[in-house]
Structure 1
């Protein structure tokens, strides 16, 4: 829990700098690229985080990777700060928070759509447009399948859950019948 709070704090700090200098999207891309590289290469992650390797050697590896990726001065300084404070192991979590905060800053809402079967791209786009109208924000839609739904869709956007699944409708009908209500 503490690490999540720390990760969020670092992500907010970088976003504040990005807001001030107008480079929030550049920092998003560079931080995402660096985080992806590290998460895909466990040996590289170990080179940064394993205390069995000497600190100077780990820092040289970090600087070499930063130079190869040609990262901005701010992102370079940010990554070196994470390393110096012993927080480079939280990079994946920091990146996740940064991506979410940057979306909020841009007025983009993240939503999930779970359906029983695969939906056509037209149906997904219509749902995304409807959610955009309801929220007044651009919506990024993450689509998943769950055959247990039987049919219909469940949409989550922030704290709002729109459950139009057949499974939930059947459960509600069952509860109504148990209470003796007419359906």
Structure 2
């Protein structure tokens, strides 16, 4: 693990290496793929990230393992060089944080924002699409919507876009009514 500010700096550096929006998407896809592969734990075997950051193995051997994995994954050459650079700096344990920061920065540059829609019951597809369209109009950005179900809401929906929460749940409305009747 590395501090968040350091992960942002590495992510920003990789982002600056992308000359086009398409290349930016390729870099994001490739670094996310590497993290998915490197973080896998199989039946009492350490993950690739654990091996790469372990001092139990000599650096040249760990570097060779990383190079072989990168070759087999056929990642973009820039992403492979970037990951080798991160390894050389002793920061490979932060690859997942760097990938997460990269995705956030890339989304921001592309005008995308993540949102979470929580409802008491699964919503019909057309209702979800209408909510998504309304959020896109309100934010002026493309919404990447994740849906969840929480029966405790009783009814209505709660939507979180970035740090802003729109709470139209029956649970919250009943709580507000209870508070106003007590006061």
TM over 0.5: yes
Going by fraction, where is helix more abundant, 1 or 2?
1
Would the aligned equivalents of 1:108 and 1:139 in 2 still touch at CA under 8 Å? yes
Q: Does 2:130 correspond to 1:154? A: no
Q: Find the counterpart in structure 1 of residue 10 from structure 2.
A: 10
The Cα shift of 1:2 comes to 6.1
* 1:102 counterpart (84, 103, 106): 106
Judging changes above 3 Å, is the alpha-carbon distance between structure 1 residues 5 and 108 closer, same or farther for their aligned structure 2 residues? same
The Cα shift of 1:43 comes to 3.0
The TM-score, its normalising length taken from structure 1, stands at 0.92
Mapped partners of 1:163, 1:142: distance in 2: 16
Q: 3-state DSSP class of the match of 1:144?
A: strand
Q: Find the counterpart in structure 2 of residue 44 from structure 1.
A: 48
- Aligned residues, how many? 178
The Cα shift of 1:25 comes to 0.9
Mapped partners of 1:40, 1:122: distance in 2: 37
The TM-score, its normalising length taken from structure 2, stands at 0.92
Task: Give runs of ≥4 in structure 1 deviating > 2 Å.
Answer: 40-43
Structure 1 residue ranges without an equivalent (≥5) = none
The Cα shift of 1:125 comes to 1.3
The Cα shift of 1:21 comes to 4.9
* 1:78 counterpart (67, 76, 82): 82
Q: Does 2:24 correspond to 1:24? A: yes
Moved more, 65-74 or 102-111: 65-74
